[in-house]
């Protein structure tokens, strides 16, 4: 009941519930993908590393993005982050093919 006093209207509450459900589904699917991609003897280590990186990226990335957006503007910051993600994805694909 506390959420009803904090959320300004019911539509936002419904949106937050849907977002929470979708976030939970994304987590489950991603963890399954990580576990299936890891060798059988290294699954615990790989999942532990995944959780470590996942936790720190959110805690460090959000303030860094805030500083970047404050300095260059929100649209430019999103463009730079998008370019960085494309570059990291391409590098992961190239490195993954060699392994």
Q: How far apart are CA 96 and CA 43, in angstroms?
A: 17
Domains in the chain: boundaries: 1-37, 40-99
pLDDT digits (tens, 9 = 90+) for 43-85: 889 888 888 888 888 788 888 889 999 999 999 999 999 999 9
pLDDT at 6 over 90: no
Query: For the packed helices 43-72 and 10-37, what is the interaxial angle rounded to 10 degrees?
Result: 130
Name the residue with higher pLDDT: 13 or 60: 60
């Amino acid at each position: 009941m506390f959420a009803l006093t904090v959320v300004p209207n019911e539509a936002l509450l419904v949106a937050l519930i849907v977002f929470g459900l979708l976030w939970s589904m994304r987590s489950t699917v991603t963890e399954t993908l990580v576990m299936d991609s890891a060798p059988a003897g290294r699954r615990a280590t790989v999942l532990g590393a995944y959780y470590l990186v996942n936790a720190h990226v959110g805690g460090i990335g959000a303030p860094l993005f805030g500083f970047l957006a404050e300095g260059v503007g929100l649209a430019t910051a999103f463009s730079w982050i998008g370019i960085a993600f494309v570059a990291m994805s391409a590098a992961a694909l190239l490195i993954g093919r060699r392994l």
